Chains A and B, each alone.
Chain A
Amino acid sequence: MSILLTRRFFAFGAATLLFAAPGTRAFAQTSGADAFVKTFATDLVAIVNGPEPAAQKKAALGPVIDRDVDVSGVARFCLGRFWATATPAQRSDYTTLFGRVLLNQISGHLGDYRGVSYTLTGDTPQGSNTLVGTTITRPNQPPINVQWVVDGSSPTPKIVDVIAEGTSMRITQRSDYGSYLSQHGDSIDALIAALHRQLDNQS
């Protein structure tokens, strides 16, 4: 790969794993969104650091992600303009697969985030969303700035994106899917088949 890739560039590599990353250390402020992210992180850390085997941790992770992450909203965002043309059955299949791929990607790297700690660095309102800033620190690794995008428009707040060093998880994912679709004749069935293959490879 490129020799020009900077350290920041691959902060994203960690981004999809960061749902599993945080450990509590200090909290600068406690807004509603901060408190929400704190609760989410505390639950995740309990799972990550628990003594259970990997399969059990994955089983415990699912409900926490379902509770605090707007998986169907993120899935819809990632399909971009193709959501409008998808049939109800395709939407349903795709959303289910998306959730399973996301959970696999997170649970497959739980071990990489031992000894992690984080600090909250403040909130930035952005429309109906709030960006909750954190600095993630891992042993012997440079710190990573991560923003959690929390949608507060619904009665229960939900995480809709993770932005690591300026790279957004959902924008990157949408670019990946959009490009795959355009390379495969805009066929949503081809995308669904590819997600099935991805799940098979991960299991």
Chain B
Amino acid sequence: MAIEGMAAIGAAAAVALTAIATAYTQAKIGAAGVGALAEDDSLFGQVLVLTVIPETMVIFGLVVALIIAGFI
């Protein structure tokens, strides 16, 4: 297979795998967060912050993909 093809697959994998990881953790944090909000809805800000922390992973994935694709 051409080297560009491999690179494209690598870029896709970088985003896909990190996205799955983010989704998995966000699902868990989100579920717990909704539980906390049901008790006390003034926690919204904190819950939102905790929920979005794993997004760092997929952003790193995006960066790696952009580097592989020669965008950066």
Interaction A to B = no
Query: Interface on B for A, CB 8 Å cutoff?
Result: none
